[in-house]
Amino acid sequence: MDLSAFSLSGKTIMVTGANTGIGQGIALSVGRAGGRVIAVGRSTMDETAELMASIGAELVAVQADLGSTSDAQAMFDAAWDKHGPIDGLVNNAGIIKRVDAVDFTEDDWDSVMDINLKTMFFLSQSLGRKAIAAEREARIVNIASMLSFQGGIRVASYTASKSGVLGITRLLANEWAAKGINVNAVAPGYIETNNTEALRNDPDRSAAILGRIPAGRWGVPSDIGDAAVFLLAPASNYMHGAVIPVDGGWLAR
């Protein structure tokens, strides 16, 4: 096996929502693969920066409101000019609202869709424009979900957004594959993060979820991070519009 096919040495990768959870796991996996990370989020990156430093990896912290498309695009352009060119983008930032469908508000809908789907598309557009204009190869990895395939309960806007993430991943792959831009997705199963804390703290829901996962455990952020590295690295050169479930076997059940 040519391990260099899995190396990100000399590559600059932007990871959104890298301050905690899956995003932090992705940043660390990129760092271990030799890549430099531009870590984007609205919260402090201090913890991620300390963890990256502990493995000798480089991190550039960028604060941005990803709920605003114009702010997100301005942030991307500024980061490209100051720290770029950017070789890869991981659209990980996301939020979730858990409310019964009959009680769902417009804000519950819009706030989730704006970050999870709208900003994901327009950040991808920003990278696409820059890479195509410069005739550079690039990678985009979108973070989908089990709810890209299933309906779920009490998470209407999250399910809609993650179904959209998978659709846009395929659309961009169709448009950009011949231009040297690989667009793929990772679909995490049930991972130990802030987003799933409520589920893990509910004894009945947690037991029901674990009972369906063939691996018999919740995933950890590095499970997703290492899959993202594969899609960012030369090893996946001929992959376009693919989605890799990293779910402990959930979808196979």
* Residues acting as catalytic residues: 158
Phi, psi (rounded to 5 degrees) for 66: -80, 0
HSE toward the beta carbon, residue 128, CA cutoff 13 A: 20
- For 226-249, letters b (16+ CB in 10 Å) and e give bbbbbbbbebbeebbbbbbbbbbe
In the structure encoding, which two tokens stand for residue 106, read together? Answer: 């417009």
Number of H helices, E strands in the chain: 9, 7
Beta-sheet strand order (sheet of 12-16)? 59-63, 36-41, 12-16, 88-91, 138-143, 181-188, 243-246
In the structure encoding, which two tokens stand for residue 88, read together? Answer: 């890869």
Please check whether residue 116 is in contact with residue 123, taking contact to mean a CB–CB distance below 8 angstroms.
no
Cis check for the bond before 85: say yes or no (omega within 30 of 0): yes
Dump the DSSP string for 62-107. EE--TT-HHHHHHHHHHHHHHH----EEEE---------GGG--HH
The DSSP H or E segment spanning 182 is: strand 181-188
Instruction: For residue 184, count other CB atoms closer than 10 A to its CB.
Output: 25
